[in-house]
Each structure stands twice: as C-alpha cells, then as structure tokens.
Structure 1
Amino acid sequence: MQISFPNEAPEYSGRELKVAFPALVNGELMWCSITAEALEDHFGAASPRLEDMVGAFDAHRPRIEAATRRLLAETSGQCLTLRSGYVRFYEANTRA
C-alpha cells in the first residue's frame, strides 16, 4: 500500500474538535483527522483554540503522519480519526 501526505494546510473544526488533513492512499485522496484531545495529550496543544490546534499539528506533523500511516496500513486504507489512545499505543510500541 502506498501512502503519502500532500503538503496542504490542515483544516480545523471547532465544532467537531478535530484537525483534518489529506492523505493519498494508492493514489486516492482521503481526509484523515486527529482529535483535539490527542493534540493536547501528546503534541502540546494548550487549548482547543484554532491557533493552538493547528500550531501543535504543524509542529508535530511528521509524528502525526507516521501514526496515521501505520493506522491506515492496519485498516487497509480506511478513512480514520487518530484518537489519544491510539497515539499512546503507537508511540509506546515504536519506542520499544
């Protein structure tokens, strides 16, 4: 499975408390997202405000994309949302 991430600006939804970002999976564009909770718990976002969410996403984009790549591979390329628990699991298993 080929997975890449276009260098496009993420989109924040304050209503859903998620930051969405594009992924190309086998040439097909899909939107993935990460929850505000995950950004606060693991990537240093200070609050659910737009500036804090997008700033944390941008500062840690390589780590977020790595976790997304693994989850996409595990779900056969299904659209997904990264949640705090998965990020915790992923990071614990990549450091071991």
Structure 2
Amino acid sequence: MQISFPSCRPDYCARDLVLTFPARVDHQTVQCAITAEALEDHFDARSLREEDLIDAFTAHRRDIEIAARRMLTEIGGNPILLHSGYFRFCT
C-alpha cells in the first residue's frame, strides 16, 4: 500500500471539532481527521480555536502523519479519525 500526504493546510470542522487532511492511498484520496482533543492532549494546542489547532497540527505534522499512516495501513486505507486515545495507547 502506497500512502502519501499532500502538503496542504488542514480544514477545520467546528461542528465536529476536528481538523481534516487528505491522504493519497494507492492513488486514491482518503479523508483523515484528528480531533481537537488529541491536538490539545498530545500536540500542545493551546485551545480549541481554529488557529491554535492548525498551529499544533503544523508543528507536529510529521508525527500526526506517521500515526495516520499506521492507522491507514491497519484498516486497509479507509477514512480515519485519530482520537486522543489512539495516541495515548498506540504511540
């Protein structure tokens, strides 16, 4: 399975309190998301504000993409949502 991540800015979804970002899995786009809680708990987001979440994502993008790659591989390239618990128990 070939997985890559375009270097675009993540999108903020206020309704779900997540940032979404694309992955390319075997030439198909797959949606990935990370919760605001995970960004606060594990990646130093200062608040739930969009700017703070994006700053944390940007600063820790490499680690988030490593976790996303691991989960995408585990579930066969389907869309993923990275929760705080995933980082607590799986990294």
Shorter-chain TM-score: which interval?
over 0.9
Gaps of 5+ in 1: 92-96
**AA in 2 matched with 1:84:** S
Percent identity between the aligned chains?
54
Report the 3-state secondary structure (helix = DSSP H, G, I; strand = E; otherwise coil) of the residue aligned with 2:67: helix
Counting matched residue pairs gives 91
- Deviation >2 Å, runs of 4+: none
Alpha-carbon separation, structure 2, partners of 1:37 and 1:12 = 13
TM-score of the aligned structures, taking structure 1 as reference length: 0.92
Within 5 Å, which residues of 2 pair with 1:10-89?
10-89=10-89
TM-score w.r.t. length of structure 2? 0.97
Listed as ranges, the gaps of 5+ residues in structure 2 are none
Q: Aligned pair 1:90/2:90, yes or no?
A: yes
RMSD: 0.6
Partner-residue secondary structure (3-state), 1:29: strand
Which residue identity lines up with residue 59 of structure 1 in the other structure? Answer: A
Q: Secondary structure of the residue that 2:53 maps to in structure 1?
A: helix
Cα shift at 1:80: 0.7
